[in-house]
């Protein structure tokens, strides 16, 4: 599913990176005693590592082309292993940042440092809560306001650009991956249910009503299908992407959501 904690983290890293000189700095060795140079190197490396871990963030930044074109066909399934890996990664980033001597930074770089530290510390603090997504202040993975059933179709419609046939193929691949995201999210909801983490009735009722509405829409006219059909047509592209997505919605996405 679309991971807000990664977007916030990568946005902070990316903004700092642009402000201090951009990715070209990674090709320069940071002098051991130069705290500003070490911070620049850290931000560049951390930003690239964050992109490596999140195809959604790659797309959000418009970087899903060239060397990162493969990311455009992928989504992140929120499995336990994936979440544990992400938490370990965030803690490593914070530890690496801590190795930079903040007292040797000028005011501007100290501000970058503090922004990153506060962001990472805020995310890590949520890890003490034994449920929820971690890094985002919402105890319920699925509700009337959140969950992959909402965020992924919105992401595909508004963030996944379609300019070429390859983009449309990548869209189809992501719809296929959407089913896996839903299944993984269901597993996590069951784990949290076992801990007693159950949304209030009014949240459950609204979420279920919205999901039922999703499932009641014939696959052929679903937003997932119409999005690729309309946008491919607008670009003059020809292909059977609508039929492919319709089949995936029928055979994989709807059953995963119904589960």
Three-state SS annotation for 5-70: HHHHHHHHHHHHHHHHCCHHHHHCCCCCCCHHHHHHHHHHHHHHHHHHHCHHHHHHCCCCCHHHHH
| C-alpha triplet 225, 180, 208: angle, nearest 5° | 70
pLDDT in tens, 205-255: 999 999 999 999 999 999 999 999 999 999 999 999 999 999 999 999 999
- From CA 194, how far away is CA 206, in angstroms rounded? 22
At 55-96, the pLDDT tens digits run 999 999 999 999 999 999 999 999 999 999 999 999 999 999
Where does the pLDDT of residue 17 fall: very low under 50, low under 70, confident under 90, or very high at 90 and above? very low
User: What's the pLDDT at 1?
Assistant: 47
233 phi, psi to nearest 5 deg? -65, -40
Question: Largest Cα–Cα distance in the chain?
Answer: 63
How distant, in Å, are the alpha carbons of 132, 141, 142, 182 from that of 199? 11, 10, 9, 18
Taking residues 40-67, report their average pLDDT: 95
pLDDT at 28 over 60: no
**Model pTM score:** 0.86
Helix runs in 99-164, H state only: 107-125, 148-158
Burial class (CB in 10 A: 0-12, 13-18, 19+), 235: middle
CB 43 within 8 A of CB 116: yes
- The rounded distance, in Å, linking the Cα atoms of 87 and 21 is 28
pLDDT single digits (tens) 86-120: 999 999 999 999 999 999 999 999 999 999 999 99
Question: Please, which pLDDT band fits residue 131 given cuts at 50, 70 and 90?
Answer: confident
Q: Is 256 left (phi over 0), alpha (psi -120 to 50) or beta?
A: alpha
What the block records as the tokens of 132 is 């929820």
């Amino acid at each position: 599913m679309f991971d807000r904690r990664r977007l916030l983290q990568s946005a902070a890293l990316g903004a700092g990176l642009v402000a201090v000189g951009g990715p070209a700095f990674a090709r320069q060795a940071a002098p051991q005693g130069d705290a500003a140079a070490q911070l620049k190197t850290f931000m560049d490396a951390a930003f690239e590592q964050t992109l490596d871990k999140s195809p959604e963030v790659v797309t959000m930044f418009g970087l899903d082309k060239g060397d990162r074109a493969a990311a455009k066909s992928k989504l992140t399934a929120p499995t336990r292993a994936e979440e544990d890996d992400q938490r370990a990664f965030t803690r490593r980033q914070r530890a690496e940042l801590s190795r930079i001597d903040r007292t040797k930074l000028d005011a501007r770089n100290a501000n970058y440092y503090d922004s990153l530290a506060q962001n990472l510390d805020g995310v890590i603090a949520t890890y003490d809560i034994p449920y929820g997504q971690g890094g985002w202040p919402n105890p319920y993975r699925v509700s009337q306001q959140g969950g992959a059933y909402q965020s992924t179709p919105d992401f595909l419609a508004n963030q996944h650009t379609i300019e070429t046939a390859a983009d449309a193929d990548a869209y189809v691949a992501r719809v296929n991956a959407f089913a896996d995201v839903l299944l993984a999210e269901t597993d996590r909801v069951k784990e949290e249910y076992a801990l007693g983490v159950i949304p209030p009735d009014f949240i459950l009722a609204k979420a279920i009503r919205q999901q039922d509405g999703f499932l009641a829409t014939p696959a052929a006219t679903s937003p997932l299908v119409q999005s690729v059909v309309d946008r491919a047509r607008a670009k003059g592209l020809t292909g059977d992407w609508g039929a492919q997505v319709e089949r995936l919605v029928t055979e994989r996405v709807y059953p995963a959501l119904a589960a």
